[in-house]
Amino acid sequence: MFIHDLDCGWMEHPFVRSRFLLSTEDEIVKIRSARIRGVVIDCSKGMDVDDAPTLAQAEAALDAEVAAIAARPIVVARVSLGEELQRAAQIRKQAVGLVRTVMADARLGKAVELDQVSPVVQAVTESILRNSGALLGLLRIKNKDDYTFLHSVSVCALLVAFCRSRKMDDETIYQAGLGGLLHDTGKALVPDAILNKEGRLTDEEFEVIKRHPRDGYDILVKTPEIGHIPLDITLHHHERRDGSGYPDRQPESEISELAQMAAIVDVYDAITSDRCYHKGMPAAEALRKIYEWSKFHFNPTLAQEFMRCVGIYPVGTLVLLESGRLGVVIEPHETSLLTPKVNVFFSTKNQAYIKPQTLDLSKPFGFGGGDKIVRHESPEKWQVNPLQFLNIA
């Protein structure tokens, strides 16, 4: 059979590539040993199997389940996206600078100074409370050189938003945000040649990467007044409910709720980001993957709650409408994540920019709506920057 896709993250399987012809029994053993529960095969390049659903059938069934999850209430923003964007941009810059400093200090053996970290976590939290879409939308912009620092800020912001959507208390939200910001501190001890390697890691290199949760814990545990939650998130954000994670291969019953939440957030941000060895996938596709993987890797209830938290089409997502227009999502609907507010700015029929207009897809034609999302689109495909159109009056 020809393997078209291994149903797991690209850092979680032992093969050089995700698409290849199965040629030995050893390869099948490798797939099973990696606890991969399903694969997609290309019947035009290899053997078929009679009783498996087609890719289209499997995706249709998954889409139906995702749509059912999307039709539930979400947290409403306190201020408009436009009001929050400028503040969010400053917070993003400040937080990235802080993580860079923390990593540099960790390499030199210096302790993390909480009095420098706490104000940044508080600023992130306050921005998320005002309008989560602003900061989360801006944090989707990552360059490959700064990925490690931006990823830490993204995990912080996403985890704060996730906790808030689950109505956790303020202190827990703060501690979770602290854990999110510091969760990859151990990567300071990973050689840059491994951390930024273009191409798949060797088994030996992956073992070095797998040390970062324990290394991060060992660094943070020396920090005076550090709480249990940040330490737990740092040590266990790579654990999986089926016991296939690291460093302790904990089963679901032993993984704390916040560590399970951090695991979802960490993977979501990683697979939606461009890396030196992989192109990030659109947010909508990533959420479908998170939902699919929750059968074995993540808590299914938490995965569904996270999907409702960030939205099937998060703020900043480029979408194609039935009218042929391209738009950027600027605000989720309160009860249906499939009908957000969208700023349209480009006609795919005329291949030209159009006068920007805000549509509320929950409303009918003539009342500010009258269109429907067909699918998410790649900004690179259309050579547009949707984030330029986030703040249209």
For residue 291, give the amino acid letter: Y
Least confident of 158-172, 208-222, 272-286: 272-286
Say which residue, 295 or 342, is predicted with more confidence.
342
Q: What SS3 class is residue 226?
A: coil
Confidence of residue 175 (pLDDT cuts 50, 70, 90): very high
Tokens of 281: 């996938």
Strands (E), 303-380: 318-321, 325-331, 341-347, 352-360, 373-376
Could you tell me what percent of the chain has a pLDDT over 90? 51
Q: What is the pLDDT of residue 71?
A: 59
10, 1 contact by CB (below 8 A): no
User: What number of residues does the chain have?
Assistant: 393
Query: What is d(CA 121, CA 180) in angstroms, rounded to the nearest whole number?
Result: 9
Task: Domains for the chain: give ranges and CATH numbers.
Answer: 2-52 (no CATH), 81-310 (1.10.3210.10), 318-389 (no CATH)
Q: What is the pLDDT of residues 307-336, one digit of tens each?
A: 888 888 888 889 999 999 999 999 887 777
Q: What is the pLDDT of residue 393?
A: 42
1, 47 contact by CB (below 8 A): yes
Q: What is the pLDDT of residues 239-265, one digit of tens each?
A: 999 998 999 999 999 999 999 999 999
- How many C-beta neighbours within 10 Å does residue 322 have? 10
pTM of the model: 0.83
Q: Which residue is associated with the tokens 């550090």?
A: 226
7, 191 contact by CB (below 8 A): no
Q: What is the pLDDT of residue 43?
A: 84
Burial of 26 (0-12, 13-18, 19+ CB in 10 A): exposed
Q: What is the pLDDT of residue 180?
A: 98
Q: What is the pLDDT of residues 350-371, one digit of tens each?
A: 999 999 999 999 888 766 678 9
Judge whether residue 392 has pLDDT over 60: no
123, 94 contact by CB (below 8 A): yes
Query: What is d(CA 83, CA 219) in angstroms, rounded to the nearest whole number?
Result: 38
What is the average pLDDT across 77-89? Answer: 88
Q: What is the pLDDT of residue 282?
A: 81
> Helix (H) and strand (E) counts for the chain?
14, 8
Query: What is d(CA 184, CA 112) in angstroms, rounded to the nearest whole number?
Result: 13
